[in-house]
């Protein structure tokens, strides 16, 4: 039995797995199920809290009192980090890609409500020097007597990946409870940590289903490299050296659309139709694009040999509100 690092408990776990009866019927198969990681909490809702449970435990073990992280202006991860920090009586500093003049809505509004200190940077700065900027903030805080801990984008690193190692254990247990086996597990990929954790667990636990990511930014090769890097980091924590090649990292490219956090009319229409069909809210940045991609791939016959598919709902509902004017309701 592999011993993984300790975590702090914040998320409401285990999250339910539900069958999407009407969508499955509409497509004529396979059976599509959804794991409701959008229901991990309220302030901390979504997939990020699973990863933060491990990252923040490491921060506490090191005696840290400030969490520094980064993301887009509507980052679910940054909002969850701010919530955890406040809950623990810690300070949070968020480095957000965007403009300080942006309307206070969605996750940004909640960041402010939770008391996070926010530093806005340009897209160019974010792309080229976000790590350096966070290190500079850390240095300034240390001079003030604080002990900061930096969490990378999406908590997608070696320690954060164990959040979805845990989730894979949960899925295997739920399969036995439900009497079903998932041929494929499909999820949105935005920074790689969720995919990495699932893949590492599937290998160590000898799970026979395959993990498929649908990227919402960049391209397949970028994420193969990122996920591979996170896997190597995670293996150092458990002293395991599995041979996982990049060819085993499955990314279904082609659904980035206009780019990260930018929506096409057909994606928004799909989010609306899905909500009416199944009574479940997807978000426009991650799950909307990924579920749209999954449905399109099923229509193309990419999953014709599958009986059961599990889609991981990674949350993000707060990100709907800044895009509400784009929906034709």
Q: Which residues are catalytic?
A: 75
Token readout for 112 is 């402010």
Find the largest Cα–Cα distance for the chain. 62
User: Can you tell me the distance from the alpha carbon of 267 to that of 125, in angstroms, rounded to the nearest whole number?
Assistant: 29
The structure tokens 């699932």 sit at: 198
Secondary structure letter of residue 41 according to DSSP: -
Report the length, in residues, of the chain.
329
Alpha helices in the chain (DSSP H): 21-27, 48-61, 76-87, 106-113, 123-143, 162-178, 193-204, 220-238, 265-278, 287-300
Q: Which residues contact 251 (CB under 8 A, 6 or more apart)?
A: 189, 212, 213, 214, 215, 220, 223, 224
Angstrom distance (rounded) from CA 228 to CA 232 = 6
Nearest residue to 192 (alpha-carbon basis) of 237, 234, 150: 234
């Amino acid at each position: 039995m592999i011993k993984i690092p300790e975590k702090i408990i914040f998320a409401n776990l285990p999250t339910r797995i539900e069958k999407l009866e009407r969508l499955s019927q509409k497509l004529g198969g396979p059976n599509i199920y959804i794991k409701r990681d959008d229901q991990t909490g309220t302030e901390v809702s979504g997939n990020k809290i699973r990863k933060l449970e491990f990252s923040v435990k490491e921060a506490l073990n090191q005696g840290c009192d400030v969490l520094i992280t980064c993301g887009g202006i509507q980052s679910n991860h940054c909002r969850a980090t701010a919530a955890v920090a406040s809950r623990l009586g810690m300070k949070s500093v968020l480095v957000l890609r965007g403009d300080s003049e942006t309307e206070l809505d969605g996750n940004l509004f909640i960041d402010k409500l939770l008391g996070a200190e926010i530093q806005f940077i340009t897209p160019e700065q974010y792309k080229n020097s976000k790590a350096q900027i966070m290190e500079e903030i850390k240095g300034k805080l240390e001079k003030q007597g604080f002990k900061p801990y930096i969490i990378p984008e999406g908590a997608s690193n070696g320690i954060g990946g164990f959040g979805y190692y845990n989730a894979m254990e949960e899925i295997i247990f739920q399969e036995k409870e439900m009497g079903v086996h998932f041929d494929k597990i499909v999820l949105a990929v935005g920074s790689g940590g969720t995919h990495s954790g699932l893949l590492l667990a599937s290998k160590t636990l000898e799970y026979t289903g395959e993990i498929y990511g649908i990227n919402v930014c960049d391209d397949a090769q970028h994420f193969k490299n990122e996920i591979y890097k996170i896997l190597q980091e995670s293996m150092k924590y458990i002293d395991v050296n599995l041979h996982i090649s990049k060819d085993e990292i499955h990314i279904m490219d082609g659904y980035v659309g206009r780019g990260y956090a930018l929506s096409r009319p057909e994606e928004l229409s799909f989010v609306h139709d899905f909500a009416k069909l199944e009574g479940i809210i997807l978000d426009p940045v991650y799950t909307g694009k990924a579920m749209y991609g999954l449905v399109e791939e099923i229509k193309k016959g990419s999953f014709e040999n599958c009986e059961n598919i599990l889609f991981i709902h990674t949350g993000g509902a707060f990100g709907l509100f800044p895009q509400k004017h784009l929906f034709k309701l």
